């Protein structure tokens, strides 16, 4: 094996492009490791952990290329990289006739030319502030996809937006739907009467998909960023979003979804909600609150609509009793019944853990149960989110399946624009291998998506079922089904 490490001064590309390029390189025959990233401190640390020696002097404005492969594959990877980066930099077709005005160089000048109401920003977090202020000064609402924005800057931006009667969605806002147009990781859903205010991306996606399955649909989904309901930010964007949806004639009901908010901020939001003309349902996946599925059901009931049977797909195979595991001693369980949750969505993970604690008790970890969010910053430094790149989670799946203490695997699969084009293509074979080696292993999948999503929810469900997983459109119901295997009550 040989390593190729190169620093290209000033060779900026956006992080999502580089994540995809890294993944495409790493999947080439003969390549064992590949990372193409800007030379930030975190990325340099990640390269070091991968065993690459990064030349001194590489900085955040420099492109670092690192590939490990056998001799022939290394040369082919270098050629492929040139083409991948060239394609990423190529302007879109139909760029205009000769002599057309030059592309705008600032957010404000772009806003002056466009008939727009929203600016979506995805630049390195420490540099987003002036661009966001430019957009606000131009009269645009702002969606900040970037993370790692300093807290003080987030507060300043949201205060500036409030003075202008605008909304800042984010930072770290991954999902929004504005008048039917999905931004970021958004599902293809029908228009309808429910507006969503979301301090949680995958929480919003779960609600969108359940409402779509019930035939209700959504008017708008306004993401506000994961820190908005913290004590410091104090719900500044959530309050603006509630007011905006209350004023929208198409919105008959509002659902607010969030990871666990600060209690004093939740009290503030509840008081503001009571003053609105539009009813508000809260979806907070914490103890004592309605889970996301029950919140969707409350919303449907409030609208006078029927609550459907939420879609589910059952695998043809059933897990054998633990004592029948290949290699197990007759009459003795060779496999355990510990539940291991491997999640791409942080809120879906939190909801699953809460549901499991309610059923199994609060000492989950002491009994071997674990719930991991592979979308957490600890797992995404220098690599794509697991909704784009499943590599780390697939490795964890194989590791858990090989652990005799694990009896039940619970995974989420989140579909929609921006997500992996065909998640079952990699996940289904991994599940099939796991259940073939472990006849006693139960696998349950929470599938968040719609039939209109680019990945086709029903096709994904069929592939996962064939591999041996029970599949649920409701994350809460998937978790309760997984718990039933732990308790030995599954039918």
The whole-number average pLDDT for the span 174-189 is 93
pLDDT given at position 332: 29
pTM above 0.85, yes or no: no
The β-bridge partners of 222 are 197
Whether residue 439 is predicted with pLDDT greater than 90 in this model: the reply is yes
The residue among 110, 103, 152 whose CA lies nearest residue 131 is 110
Count of residues making up the chain = 491
Q: How confident is the model at residue 219 (pLDDT cuts 50, 70, 90)?
A: very high
- Distance, CA of 227 to CA of 261 (rounded, Å): 9
Whether residue 313 is predicted with pLDDT greater than 70 in this model: the reply is yes
pLDDT given at position 104: 80
Of the chain, the percentage scoring pLDDT greater than 70 comes to 92
Q: How confident is the model at residue 91 (pLDDT cuts 50, 70, 90)?
A: low
Q: Where in the chain is the domain with CATH 3.30.70.60?
A: 2-89
User: pLDDT tens digit string along 29-77?
Assistant: 999 888 898 888 878 887 887 889 888 888 888 899 999 998 789 989 9
CATH number, domain 312-487: 3.40.50.261
Handedness of CA 363, 296, 385, 229 (dihedral sign): negative
Whether residue 335 is predicted with pLDDT greater than 50 in this model: the reply is no
Fold that domain 107-302 belongs to in CATH: Rossmann fold (3.40.50)
Q: How confident is the model at residue 281 (pLDDT cuts 50, 70, 90)?
A: very high
pLDDT given at position 57: 85
- Identify the weakest region by mean pLDDT among 231-235, 330-334, 454-458, 486-490: 330-334
- Distance, CA of 399 to CA of 405 (rounded, Å): 11
The whole-number average pLDDT for the span 439-443 is 95
387 cis-preceded (ω within 30 degrees of 0): no
Joined together, the tokens standing for residue 381 give 């430094």
Of the chain, the percentage scoring pLDDT greater than 90 comes to 63
E strands, 75-162, in order: 118-121, 141-144
Whether residue 381 is predicted with pLDDT greater than 70 in this model: the reply is no
Whether residue 326 is predicted with pLDDT greater than 70 in this model: the reply is no
Q: Where in the chain is the domain with CATH 3.40.50.261?
A: 107-302, 312-487
Average pLDDT of every residue of the chain: 89
- Identify the weakest region by mean pLDDT among 209-213, 283-287, 309-313, 357-361: 283-287
* 2-89: in CATH 3.30.70.60: yes
Whether residue 489 is predicted with pLDDT greater than 90 in this model: the reply is no
End-to-end CA distance of the chain: 51
Q: How confident is the model at residue 97 (pLDDT cuts 50, 70, 90)?
A: low
pLDDT given at position 410: 98
Handedness of CA 275, 278, 279, 280 (dihedral sign): negative
User: pLDDT tens digit string along 73-85?
Assistant: 998 998 899 888 8
Answer yes or no: are the C-beta atoms of 35 and 63 closer than 8 Å: no
> Buried (b) or exposed (e) across 5-36, using 16+ Cβ within 10 A?
bebeeebebebeebbbbbbbbbebeebebbbb
């Amino acid at each position: 094996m040989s390593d190729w490490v190169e620093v290209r001064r000033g060779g900026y590309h956006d992080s999502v492009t580089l994540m995809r390029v890294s993944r495409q390189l790493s999947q080439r025959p003969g390549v064992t490791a590949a990372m193409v990233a800007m030379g930030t401190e975190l990325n340099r640390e990640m390269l070091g952990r991968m065993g690459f020696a990064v030349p001194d002097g590489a900085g955040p404005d420099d492109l670092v290329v690192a590939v490990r492969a056998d001799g022939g594959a290394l040369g082919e990877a270098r050629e492929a990289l040139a083409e991948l980066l060239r394609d990423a930099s190529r302007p879109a077709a139909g760029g205009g006739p000769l002599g057309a005005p030059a592309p705008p160089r600032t957010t404000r000048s772009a806003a002056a030319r466009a008939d727009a109401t929203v600016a979506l920003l995805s630049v390195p977090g420490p540099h987003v502030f002036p661009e966001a202020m430019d957009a606000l000064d131009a009269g645009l609402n702002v969606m900040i996809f970037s993370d790692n924005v300093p807290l003080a800057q987030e507060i300043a931006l949201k205060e500036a937006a409030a003075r202008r009667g605008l909304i800042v969605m984010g930072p770290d806002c991954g999902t929004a739907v504005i008048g039917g147009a999905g931004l970021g990781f958004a599902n293809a859903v029908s228009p309808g009467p429910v507006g969503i205010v979301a301090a949680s991306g995958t929480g919003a996606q779960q609600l969108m998909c359940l409402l779509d399955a019930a035939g209700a649909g959504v008017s708008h989904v306004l993401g506000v960023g994961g820190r908005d309901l913290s004590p410091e930010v104090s719900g500044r964007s959530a309050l603006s979003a509630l007011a905006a949806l209350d004023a929208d004639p198409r919105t008959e009901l509002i659902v607010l979804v969030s990871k666990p908010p600060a209690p004093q901020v939740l009290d503030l939001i509840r008081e503001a909600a009571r003053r609105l003309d539009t009813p508000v349902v809260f979806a907070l996946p914490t103890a004592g609150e309605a889970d996301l599925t029950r919140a969707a059901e409350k919303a449907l009931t409030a609208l006078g609509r029927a609550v459907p049977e939420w879609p589910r797909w059952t695998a043809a195979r059933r897990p054998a009793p633990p004592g029948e595991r290949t290699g197990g001693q007759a009459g003795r369980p060779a496999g355990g019944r510990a539940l291991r949750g491997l999640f791409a969505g942080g809120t879906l993970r939190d909801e699953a853990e809460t549901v499991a604690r309610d059923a199994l008790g609060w000492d989950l970890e002491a009994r071997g149960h674990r719930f991991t969010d592979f979308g957490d910053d600890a797992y995404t430094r220098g690599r794509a989110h697991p909704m784009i790149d499943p590599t780390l989670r697939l490795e964890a799946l194989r590791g858990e399946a090989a652990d005799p203490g694990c009896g039940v695997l619970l995974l989420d699969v989140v579909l929609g624009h921006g997500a992996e084009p065909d998640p079952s293509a990699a996940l289904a074979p991994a599940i099939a291998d796991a259940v073939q080696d472990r006849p006693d292993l139960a696998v349950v999948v929470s599938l968040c998506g719609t039939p209109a999503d680019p990945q086709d929810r029903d096709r994904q469900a069929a592939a996962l079922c064939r591999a041996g997983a029970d599949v649920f459109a409701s994350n809460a119901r998937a978790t309760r089904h997984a718990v039933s295997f732990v308790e030995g009550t599954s039918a």
